[in-house]
Chain A
């Protein structure tokens, strides 16, 4: 760890090319997420929220600045090193669920452990119990509602017991009742010590977070 910070961004910028134009998606951002913190990242479409989350999730490298995730600086990591770091330290939840349609719920949740070679010993079943899907273990994704699929996706993101959970619009595809269920699960996870960063437009989620980071034009708005 880095003084209790599970994620630390120092003067991070990210530029990329779109045709002949250079897009400054993130500009000189410094941000820390402490262990056990629940942070909301908000901003308009195109403000740089997702780019910021990709950098925090080791899916992208900054053009400038330093990023430390779970005690490791990602600039100097190899691609394989970043893959390992993602597999062991970060859970991802997206607006789309990305479940494998031919695997049942239990298998979908177990899937990431295949790549980290972790023994599960019933962990997948426990996680599904936790998200309230203990009775749906052998259902296929096509037999589930949107809210249930997102709960499966959350259980899957936690299978390798990551200390960090990154969620990009996790309730974007859900009705208010299912969104409420997801928010409750996030709170429960946060209380158990998982650091959560959630990119969202949903004010209900923002209200439940311990801190909110506003992004505008790639910069943190104070």
Chain B
């Protein structure tokens, strides 16, 4: 005979109620696991995309707040702000820079509104910027009408090298000169055009969305950034790729806040559910508890007994919830991808791991056990004489 055995047996009195209470905690644990996986995953995916995979260390764009700059570049929208192409030569003269890549970025939503295609006008400097770029087939632009397709775009559009691609929005026919190998970055979903062609398509000849810079030595980042700020016109903005990703993550802050509010709501529901259930369990057993006090059960014995009952529910519910959350996380990542406004990174945006599952399990178990304290103290305060006399 042990306290645990008595506690577990008590849960069998009303198995449906015990199960439902456990499930309410499971929902909290699953929600917490999913949200933590998304939070970690999205931050990692954005940082991977914009800091690790682009090869870009600095961007020069028209002055604005970093968030605005991030938005313009990341969304590929046609910004009213632009950088003059004539700064490129001045930048190329800076010895600390390994590559200078001017680009024009714009986005076009398909007529049925189901998809937004990202077009990027580039020069061959992109090959210095991304030395690991590989063509799966074909190669570099062969004419002004050439287009290089990211791997995913080629798959979606069923296009091969030499095929013609008509863009209804611009009433222009392009010829596929190359298809990139998949590199699990934003590149997979991009149409690459010759810079001049891209500028002409949106009527912004000589204008750039931004200039991307790669440093020879990244430890010089601050010095180069300061030097660029000094030499650029006052209305230009020099932004690091880390600042860019941070800016995007600030956009994500609102989504993140909503997700955490969901977690809090799930917890509040669970907390009231558990307290209510355990309180009912205590009130239903008042006479039994009174008898236990008659035969020597002390205050702490009863607190221990009720807490163990709750702990058993909490452990089972939290464990189940954390496992379900781990399984649901990839699905929720794909769902969230459809609703993201700020920036949709190419990699997985939900990254569940054992640490997250254990955190969710521990937090939910602790909350569950904490919820038992009030009912447990109510049980401990039962006066046997009053209960046995009046009931």
| Contacting pair B13 A102 (CB below 8 A) | yes
Q: Report the separation of the CA atoms of residues A103 and B2 in the bound assembly, to the nearest whole angstrom.
A: 12
Taking the closest CB of chain B, its distance from the CB of A77, in whole angstroms, is 13
Q: Report the separation of the CA atoms of residues A103 and B8 in the bound assembly, to the nearest whole angstrom.
A: 10
| Contacting pair A100 B2 (CB below 8 A) | no
Is A186's CB within 8 Å of the partner chain B?
A: no
Interface membership of chain B positions 31-72, coded 1 if the CB is closer than 8 angstroms to chain A and 0 otherwise: 000000000000000000000000000000000000000000
User: Of the candidates A80, A87, A103, A157, which one forms a contact with B6 in the assembled complex, judged by CB atoms under 8 Å apart?
Assistant: A103
Q: How many A-B pairs fall under 8 Å by CB?
A: 80
Q: Which residues of A contact B1 (CB under 8 A)?
A: 107, 110-111, 113-114
| Contacting pair A86 B296 (CB below 8 A) | yes
Q: Which of B1, B296, B297 has the most CB of A within 10 A?
A: B296
Interface membership of chain A positions 104-125, coded 1 if the CB is closer than 8 angstroms to chain B and 0 otherwise: 0001001111111000000000
- Once A60-B385, A96-B287, A100-B6 are accepted as A-B contacts, the answer to whether A156 and B296 lie under 8 Å apart by CB is no
Taking the closest CB of chain A, its distance from the CB of B276, in whole angstroms, is 21
| Contacting pair B9 A102 (CB below 8 A) | yes
- B257-298 interface with A by 8 A CB criterion: 287-288, 291-298
| Contacting pair A98 B287 (CB below 8 A) | yes
Interface of B, helix, strand, loop or mixed by DSSP: helix
| Contacting pair B299 A94 (CB below 8 A) | no
| Contacting pair A92 B291 (CB below 8 A) | yes
Is B160's CB within 8 Å of the partner chain A?
A: no
Q: Which residues of A contact B3 (CB under 8 A)?
A: 114
Is B243's CB within 8 Å of the partner chain A?
A: no
| Contacting pair B291 A98 (CB below 8 A) | yes
- Once A59-B384, A110-B1, A114-B3 are accepted as A-B contacts, the answer to whether A83 and B9 lie under 8 Å apart by CB is no
Q: Report the separation of the CA atoms of residues A54 and B9 in the bound assembly, to the nearest whole angstrom.
A: 30
Q: Report the separation of the CA atoms of residues A59 and B287 in the bound assembly, to the nearest whole angstrom.
A: 14
Taking the closest CB of chain A, its distance from the CB of B5, in whole angstroms, is 8
Is B10's CB within 8 Å of the partner chain A?
A: yes
| Contacting pair B385 A83 (CB below 8 A) | no
- B288-317 interface with A by 8 A CB criterion: 288, 291-299, 301
Is A211's CB within 8 Å of the partner chain B?
A: no
- Once A50-B389, A80-B299 are accepted as A-B contacts, the answer to whether A57 and B294 lie under 8 Å apart by CB is yes
| Contacting pair B385 A115 (CB below 8 A) | no
- Once A94-B388, A98-B287 are accepted as A-B contacts, the answer to whether A114 and B6 lie under 8 Å apart by CB is yes
- A163-186 interface with B by 8 A CB criterion: none
Q: Which of B2, B294, B298, B301 has the most CB of A within 10 A?
A: B294
Is A160's CB within 8 Å of the partner chain B?
A: yes
Interface membership of chain A positions 123-166, coded 1 if the CB is closer than 8 angstroms to chain B and 0 otherwise: 00000000000000000000000000000000011001000000
Is A79's CB within 8 Å of the partner chain B?
A: yes
- Once A102-B13, A114-B6 are accepted as A-B contacts, the answer to whether A88 and B294 lie under 8 Å apart by CB is no
| Contacting pair B389 A83 (CB below 8 A) | no
Q: Report the separation of the CA atoms of residues A83 and B298 in the bound assembly, to the nearest whole angstrom.
A: 6
Q: Report the separation of the CA atoms of residues A57 and B384 in the bound assembly, to the nearest whole angstrom.
A: 11
| Contacting pair B294 A86 (CB below 8 A) | yes
Q: Report the separation of the CA atoms of residues A92 and B384 in the bound assembly, to the nearest whole angstrom.
A: 12
B-side residues, CB < 8 A to A, are: 1-3, 5-6, 9-10, 12-13, 287-288, 291-299, 301, 384-385, 388-389
A-B contact pairs, 28 of them (CB 8 A): A51-B389, A59-B384, A59-B385, A79-B299, A80-B298, A83-B293, A83-B298, A83-B299, A84-B298, A86-B293, A86-B294, A87-B295, A87-B296, A92-B295, A94-B388, A98-B287, A101-B13, A102-B13, A103-B9, A107-B6, A111-B295, A112-B292, A112-B295, A114-B6, A115-B292, A115-B295, A157-B295, A160-B296
5 A-B pairs closest in CB distance: A87-B296, A98-B291, A112-B295, A102-B9, A115-B296
